[in-house]
């Protein structure tokens, strides 16, 4: 069955640990999803926060799909763990983001905007922008940990920051396929890479990188069958443009 949420606004919704230390209330400031196919359209999540994961949305269910269309996530935060806006910890068929804005979101851990932390079959982004998101660990905008296929097309990463690696994107744990197509990475900053890839198969990057700061633009660590084509690297303040380990 489907759940459709449209043309709504969540402002300052919180999930926090109460005085009795009830940890059941600490994830997903606005939405806590444990099942069903979910479609969210034309909806804004503003200044939502969670003590642990998923400042706006936490998914711990087993559903076929989630779709986010023409949504805005702004000023949301995961105060102590992962996923400033969205944390996916579920066996999903897939998640699709189409024409979505992520602005000024933060996570103390991984994924300033989104953290995918379990067996999602695919995560797809079309015409989506990540602006000024921050992570205390990895993935200033996005962190993928064990999702099988990721695709980003016509996406913008502007002024995102991570304290460790992946100012824009952090990818780890045996992905089957990653594609970044016709996308822009501008003024992102991390101690490590702009895109931090660890343990993947079949990665394809076709993107423009301008004025980013860190150790390297793309780090490939145990990344098999990687193709980088039609790329432009301009004015990046890094030790090496591409690091292959």
Q: What is the pLDDT of residues 3-48, one digit of tens each?
A: 999 999 999 988 765 555 555 568 999 998 887 789 999 999 999 9
DSSP state of 35: S
| Cβ proximity of 106 and 81 under 8 Å | no
- The model scores a pTM over 0.85: yes
Q: What is the largest CA-CA distance in the chain?
A: 56
pLDDT tens column, 50-61: 999 999 999 876
Least Cα distance to 3 among 48, 88, 67 occurs for 67
| Cβ proximity of 64 and 91 under 8 Å | no
The structure tokens listed for 230 are: 């039609």
Is residue 200 scored above 80 in pLDDT?
no
Least confident residue range of 50-64, 131-145, 227-241: 50-64
pLDDT tens column, 35-46: 778 999 999 999
Least confident residue range of 15-29, 69-83, 149-163: 15-29
Confidence tier at 105 by pLDDT (50, 70, 90): very high
């Amino acid at each position: 069955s489907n759940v459709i949420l449209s043309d709504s606004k969540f402002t300052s919704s919180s999930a926090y640990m109460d005085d009795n230390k009830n940890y059941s209330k600490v994830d997903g400031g606005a939405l806590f999803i444990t099942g069903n196919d979910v479609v969210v359209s034309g909806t804004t999540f503003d200044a939502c926060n969670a003590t642990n994961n998923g400042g706006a949305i936490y998914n711990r269910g087993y559903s076929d799909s989630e779709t986010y269309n023409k949504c805005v996530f702004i000023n949301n935060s995961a105060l102590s763990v992962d996923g400033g806006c969205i944390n996916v910890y579920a066996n999903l068929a897939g998640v699709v983001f189409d024409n979505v804005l992520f602005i000024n979101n933060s996570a103390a851990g991984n994924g300033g905007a989104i953290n995918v932390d379990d067996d999602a079959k695919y995560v797809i982004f079309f015409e989506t922008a990540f602006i000024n998101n921050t992570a205390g660990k990895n993935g200033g905008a996005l962190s993928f940990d064990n999702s099988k296929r990721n695709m980003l097309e016509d996406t913008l990463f502007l002024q995102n920051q991570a304290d460790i690696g992946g100012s824009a994107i952090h990818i780890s744990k045996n992905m089957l396929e990653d594609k970044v197509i016709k996308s822009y990475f501008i003024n992102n900053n991390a101690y490590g890479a702009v895109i931090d890839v660890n343990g993947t198969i079949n990665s394809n990057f076709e993107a423009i990188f301008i004025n980013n700061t860190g150790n390297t633009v793309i780090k490939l660590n145990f990344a098999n069958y990687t193709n980088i084509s039609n790329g432009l690297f301009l004015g990046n303040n890094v030790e090496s443009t591409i690091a292959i380990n």
